[in-house]
Structure 1
Amino acid sequence: MGASHRQIQGLLVTLAGGACLPNAIPPSERKLLATWTVSPKWRMAKDTTIWENSNGESYPFGVWIANYAASYAANVMVQVLIEEVFGFNTTSGLGPGTVSGFYGVGGCLNPNDNNDPQCGTEVPTKYHLNMEAWVNGYPLVWKNLQLEHPKTAPDDLGSMGYAGYAGSFLTEEVITTAHKTEGIALQYYKFWNASWYEPSKYTNTITDFNLSRWLKPCMNSDSVFMDDTTMRRHIQFTGDLDGLVLNTSNSRYYAKCQDGYFWRAPSCRGNASQCVPFVTGGSGWSIEEMMQKSVVLYMPLGLAVAAGWTEYTQIPFHYPKMQVYWWVPDPSFLELAPQMMQWAPLDKRGWANGYQVSQLGSIPIKKLVSRDLMVLAPNVRSFVSNIMISLKQMDEILLDQKNTSATWEDATCKWLLANEPVWRSWIPDESQCFPGFGLYDSVLKDFVDARENATNKIICQVYSVFRKALQSRYTAGLKWMM
């Protein structure tokens, strides 16, 4: 998912200030990451590599944030823990959406330029984490990055613990009223067939709208209603020539909007008072899908695009009895408790070919880390891998931030303080070592052979090429090759 910087301009995080957690590692004691390269002198058995700090370069732990609410919530929450529990200095980068996160964590020099992100430069990335990534929403971009730049492409550490959904939502008020009155479940598409049901009895209609106040004209140059390729697919899959206009001067099709703002489905094309509004944003998110559904499933819908982001986020509060395009997790309409419309089971082949009348599947929301994080901070990598948060928990953070207008640091801190058992379970044992690392006495500043009987704090530390460290591991029973 993604949005423009102006769309989320009120959500920027402020990470300066006091600590969140009672026992936070203070800023004066926080450390930097350091770059490491393969030592040419030593290798461990079984091809496990010894690393050395080659040039002394160091920098803060970089967190990449996409410019939408759930990304702020997830990334800032983890950023607080990386600072205050793991003791790293951090910095953050900002991009418009998931794809910029791929490039930011993937070491690309210009991650916000989709046309030329400048990847594969072999320069160590300064961004090491991106939470809340909609990886499956951009499969080709992800696949190409992994194939073309395997040394630097991000690692996928699995699900956040919930899936994302995007599509048409209907407010709880409509669903409840229709069920109590007539025993029908308007969240299911079969109850929208105009041959049998009249859903407009429970909803707003397109005649309620102040059109120019809220909506973008269909003839707007950036509207999907004006896209010839999309409209030709509509003919291909529905045969609905009456819903389109052919411009004879350039042989291009565009949508027929009788009032200039709403495209009407065949089942209410002759009677606007029976057309239920479906409103979306951008240039027309999901318009093609809903045009197909409204024709094939005989649904009395009027489809329109909000004039801008502000209008898009306000329309459902002014006209709450309608269908609206939305995605979760997102705080925009949480107060209305919308439910996602339920369609026929997913037809993967149909969607792959452009036929969009079935349920679009959920999208796993992923945790991405830089390829070199296993060397730079393996304990943090393990911590990120352990993170699991439910959609309900994410919604709590999002709705609290929206209602209080708190900074993302304050909103996530509030959640962390109230849910310590949850995030404590994500923290790995610091003395569980990874290949290329050894047990290190943080007071004596030396490697040890065992954690038993140690009086000082034992952590994992990357090996240097010094023979003393190598010899210490040799006595523990490992073979070394020179």
Structure 2
Amino acid sequence: MAGCEAPTEIADRKCGRKKTYYHLHLEGWTDSYRAQWSRLQEDYPDTAVEIVGSMGYHGLSGQYISREIIETAYAQEGLPLQFYRAHNVSWSNPAKYFDNISAFNATSLKRCNETRLMETKAMEDYLWVTGDWDGVDNTSGKLVGRCFSEHFWFAPSCRADPLACYPYINAGPGYEYEHWMQRSTMFNIPLVIVVAKLWSDFTTLPTQVKSSFYWWQPDPTFLSLDAVRTVFEPFDRAAQGRGILLTGFEATSVDKYASFDLKSLAPTVYELLSAFSLDLNLVNELMTDQMDSGDTPDVVACRWLKANKAISERWLPDPTECYPQFGLYNEKTEEFVEDREDPSRLTCRACNSGFYSSRLKDGSGVTHVCKPCPTGTAQPSAASLNCQPCQKGEYQDLTASKSCKRCDQGTYQDTQGNSQCKECPADTTTLGLGSAALMECGCKAGRINIANESEAVVCTPCEEGLSCPFSSSVQSLKTGQAPLGPDYQPALHPGFHSTMNAPLVVFKCIEEGFCPGGIPEVCRGGRVGQNCAVCPPGALGIST
């Protein structure tokens, strides 16, 4: 979703490319991965995934007890086991509503040395909070939790009589193991903590043994037990930070994610995602329906949508609420329109090339319409927010254009965003198309510019004996250097001569060989003077 080409390659995930492969995700437990989330936002701000809002519920975890046990305890003695204080053996005997450790087969349990009982820091916190030296072991020189019969840890209130403890079944390494050690000790709860050996053991043991167990919601694993979460004091972040783990777990934000480009690629999908919301009870109902019916998730979801249109239709965006880059489109006439006075058959489509998306505020709110690019502009791309002005050397005299035209020969345009080009001065033209400055207008072939470089062009006809290609000037004739190159260099023909003081007054030489042509005042054989007719001193002129 963030454009990472190899998201599972820790060394180099190849993130930061602005190419997304997935565009939305539901039920992201953001708070559980806050460090990773923050790093992604900081390292790749341009492509980072966006939180579009909550799913409508929070993720919960903690100690759960089946509804059957809860109802039995309440029916028999009014004991509300959904509240942690009801588990205090000073006032009641909650263990009588549960099985004891004799109900377990040890092969389905992890040994203590495979669990968080071996985590020294966790056990140090436990000892600091509770002072229960009998619940830990330091004989090896390393503080660990005290293990009983290789698989169990017993709370102080039932340690002397293990059969008086009721089970708390955990998974993995013993998630939040130390939390339950502290709570059972400080609140006098007769708990024995066990950790299922395999995931399959964890998912079956709570259905076979009357017990409490670790679980999280939403999740379908123990839905059949209609389990109830035990309520502790509200989460205390400061206390948890000091290692005091007596309050309940923090409810986790469960969010909806969108890729950075979803809003522009599919704004209606983005709007639907933003509005979509479910509560936890409804999610549990849907998962229960799937478990009971055996239908696929798609079938279950479709069945619910058909039966609850009043809810689902509230999620649907207004089809005429077009986002930037899009505009109102009439599906019947197959044309873009510029208002929604008649909203029937209106939808939103990306604006075509030659158009741009313009904001429109009317009685129904804000939408966007596609408008044609005005003259002097163009837009080659679809789904655009503006039109691009024609560049220098270009023009566009039509609206709704995808591109600009190049100025014709003999014209130029030295500013942007114009619908016409400017004509070159009299007797001048341009070398080709797309001229972008007045200085590109030069005298036509056969004429030569007699003005100074800083003055406006003044063209005059070239006399016999003088070659004047396009853009000829007196300056380039005299220097022999043309700005456009040798093909555009004015020059005297061989056999013709002029002077630097009067370069355009051309004379025909007596002998063609005397005058090589090119720039003015050049003679062969050391000759000098008008028409190269004067021999150098000491030489005798011989006519051939």
- What's the TM-score, normalizing by structure 1? 0.71
Which of 275, 285, 300 is the matching residue for 2:165? 275
CA offsets 1:250-299 (integer angstroms, 9 cap, x no match): x3332222111111111111111111100011111121211111112121
Q: Which amino acid aligns with 1:217?
A: R
| Contact 2:30–2:253 (CA under 8 A) maintained in structure 1 | yes
Q: Which structure 2 segments of 5+ residues have no match?
A: 359-369, 375-384, 390-544
| Contact 2:232–2:248 (CA under 8 A) maintained in structure 1 | yes
Partner of 1:161: 56
Is the counterpart of residue 410 in structure 1 residue 299 in structure 2? yes
- Aligned residue-pair number: 368
| Contact 1:109–1:117 (CA under 8 A) maintained in structure 2 | no
CA distance in 2, matches of 1:326, 1:481: 58
Mapping 1:318-337, distance limit 5 Å: 318-319=208-209, 321-337=210-226
Partner of 1:111: 7
Is the counterpart of residue 173 in structure 1 residue 63 in structure 2? no
CA distance in 1, matches of 2:12, 2:75: 54
Partner of 1:225: 117
Q: Going by fraction, where is helix more abundant, 1 or 2?
A: 1
Partner of 1:263: 153
Partner of 1:383: 272
Q: Which amino acid aligns with 1:293?
A: R
CA distance in 2, matches of 1:272, 1:288: 19
Which of 116, 127, 134 is the matching residue for 1:235? 127
Mapping 1:71-470, distance limit 5 Å: 105-112=1-8, 115-116=10-11, 118=13, 120-212=15-107, 214-220=108-114, 223-246=115-138, 248=140, 251-319=141-209, 321-442=210-331, 446-453=335-342, 457-467=345-355
Cα 1:473/1:389, change in 2 over 3 Å:
farther
CA root-mean-square deviation? 2.4
| Contact 2:325–2:357 (CA under 8 A) maintained in structure 1 | no
| Contact 1:440–1:459 (CA under 8 A) maintained in structure 2 | yes
Shift of 1:474: 7.1
Shift of 1:147: 1.8
Cα 1:296/1:109, change in 2 over 3 Å:
farther
SS at match of 1:383: helix
CA distance in 1, matches of 2:277, 2:195: 36
Partner of 1:46: none
Partner of 1:472: 371
- Percent identity among equivalent residues? 33
CA distance in 2, matches of 1:258, 1:469: 72
CA offsets 1:93-144 (integer angstroms, 9 cap, x no match): xxxxxxxxxxxx222223345x447153324111001101111222222222
| Contact 1:449–1:473 (CA under 8 A) maintained in structure 2 | no
| Contact 2:184–2:190 (CA under 8 A) maintained in structure 1 | yes
Partner of 1:52: none
Cα 1:110/1:245, change in 2 over 3 Å:
farther
Shift of 1:446: 4.5
Query: Which fold has the larger relative contact order, with Cα–Cα distance below 8 Å and residues 6 or more apart in sequence?
Result: 1
- What's the TM-score, normalizing by structure 2? 0.63
Q: Which is greater in Rg?
A: 2
Moved over 6 A (4+): 468-471, 478-481
CA distance in 2, matches of 1:411, 1:117: 40
